[in-house]
Amino acid sequence: MNNISKIVTTSVLLLVFMLMFVSSAEAIPAFARRYKLSCSTCHLPFPRLKPYGDEFAGNGFIIPEEEKERDYVTGGDDLLWLNKDFPIAGRFEAYSVFDTREEVDKDLQIPWGMKLMSGGTLFKNIGYYFYFYMSEKGEVAGIEDAYLHFDNIFGSGIDIMAGQFQTSDPLMKRELRLTFEDYMIYKQNVGESGTNLTYDRGVIMAYTLEKTGTDLVGLVVNGNGKGEAGEEGTFDTDPYKNWGVRINQGFGDLLSVGFFYYKGKEKHELNPGTNSLTYWGPDFNIDLGLVNCTVQLLKREDTDPMFDGSGKVVTDGTVAELVFLPQRDKSRFFFTGLYNNISSDFPGIAYETATLSGTYTLARNLRLMAEYTRDLIHDKNRFVVGTVTAF
């Protein structure tokens, strides 16, 4: 990067920071600021969502009964609803890590990540959300989540979300976890395949059968992540599109059972072969108030992930998460247990860890955490102490 580019980039970032702090006079995130609600209305603790937070997100980050014309600039035009104030918030994550699996076993990851977030109303039942990762592991990661949300289109009960999102969002949302340890099967690639269940570009449609309470989700995505457009200006690197469906059925307030199926095909940029892949598997959630447990079982099958005719590969993944809330909604201490397992015919991607994490909510928008992860394959340990705040 030349000096002129550095000056321009620095100036833009400084301007963004100035705008953020001018519009964020109160030290609360954008949605709480917009509706003058505590962060605990939607989160317990943040970023983990309560049922009301799920409903708020499902409505396109809108509280319909709170949307008043006086809160917008309409200019006397019924088809114009501009926010009087542009909603914006920030998030800061910092960790100290001791990891015996790494040659550099002691690392101050401060900051690990910094992002700017914005979301809200575009017009009545149309919302938007995006965030810009100014720094993720020391690099400018750019836009990750970025989409428009059309709620209850033409009164049909169908929601449509179009843009960039994680394909795993209908399952367990990686951005909402309380642990430093990730949900590993979602981000695992196999061989030379460019497909996993993290960020992609596409469309999601969601519908709920009112009589049975069955949630239906369908999605269509490029299948190759969120990389830059190629020389021809296209984001997709092959002529194929990937698609997926999820069905989820609740049984009262205690239990829900889901099933996910995803199918795709991809062409390698250099090798002549193609790879067809599927993900499928059930998931279960039990909510007992004090304890919330989620289990995801996922099988991935690739016909030729090396694109050289070497044959089929089967990969099995398990994610099991248990969150303990000692005082239910009044809890300030939270404990999370997380188990990850990946087994595969493909060498080098086996993974098995057990994690125990403790979280303390110092403020509604500031939490402290300490975490221990045991690598069960290599008999190694990782200890993490950190903080996450939103403002």
In the numeric block, the tokens 């843009």 are attached to 163
Q: Which of 51-65, 214-228, 349-363 is least confident?
A: 51-65
pLDDT at 350 over 50: yes
Give the highest mean pLDDT range of 85-89, 304-308, 359-363.
304-308
Q: What is the pTM of this model?
A: 0.85
Strand spans (E) along the chain: 72-73, 82-83, 89-99, 106-123, 126-136, 142-150, 159-166, 199-209, 214-221, 242-251, 255-267, 274-287, 291-302, 313-324, 333-344, 351-363, 366-375, 380-390
Amino acid type, 340: N
pLDDT at 41: 63
Q: How many CA atoms lie within 13 A of 87 on its CB side?
A: 26
User: Which tokens hold the place of 264?
Assistant: 């795709």
pLDDT at 69: 63
Q: How far, in whole angstroms, is CA 266 from its chain's centroid? A: 24
**Spatial CA neighbour of 173 closest among 159, 183, 163:** 183
N-to-C CA span, the chain: 31
Q: Considering only the top CATH level, what class is 25-390? A: mainly beta
Condensed to tens digits (0 to 9), the pLDDT of residues 293-316 reads: 999 999 999 999 999 999 999 999
Q: How confident is the prediction for the chain on average, in pLDDT?
A: 85
User: Which tokens hold the place of 228?
Assistant: 């830059």
User: Which tokens hold the place of 332?
Assistant: 């300030």
Estimate the share of the chain in helix, then strand, then coil, as percent rounded to the nearest 5.
Answer: 15, 50, 35
Condensed to tens digits (0 to 9), the pLDDT of residues 132-171 reads: 988 888 888 899 999 999 988 988 999 999 999 999 999 9
Say if CB 166 and CB 176 are below 8 A apart: no
Q: 123 versus 157: which is more confidently predicted? A: 157
User: Which tokens hold the place of 262?
Assistant: 């995803």
Say if CB 129 and CB 61 are below 8 A apart: yes
The band of 356, judged by pLDDT with boundaries at 50, 70 and 90, is: very high
pLDDT at 83: 76
Taking the CB of residue 7, how many other CB atoms lie within 10 A of it? Answer: 10
Q: Once rounded to an integer, what is the mean pLDDT over residues 126-134?
A: 89
Strands 333-344 and 106-123: unpaired
pLDDT at 65: 59
**Domain boundaries along the sequence of the chain:** 25-390
**Spatial CA neighbour of 302 closest among 343, 264, 352, 348:** 264
- Rounded CA-CA distance 306/274 in Å is 9
- Rounded CA-CA distance 213/290 in Å is 24
Amino acid type, 378: H
Beta bridge partners of 165: 200
Q: 22 versus 93: which is more confidently predicted? A: 93
In the numeric block, the tokens 């000056």 are attached to 7
pLDDT at 136: 87
Condensed to tens digits (0 to 9), the pLDDT of residues 175-187 reads: 889 999 999 999 9
pLDDT at 35 over 80: no
User: Which tokens hold the place of 211?
Assistant: 């009589």
Condensed to tens digits (0 to 9), the pLDDT of residues 191-240 reads: 999 999 999 999 999 999 999 999 999 999 999 999 888 888 899 999 99
Q: Is the dihedral of CA 78, 84, 86, 90 positive or negative?
A: negative
Tell me how long the chain is.
391
pLDDT at 7: 37
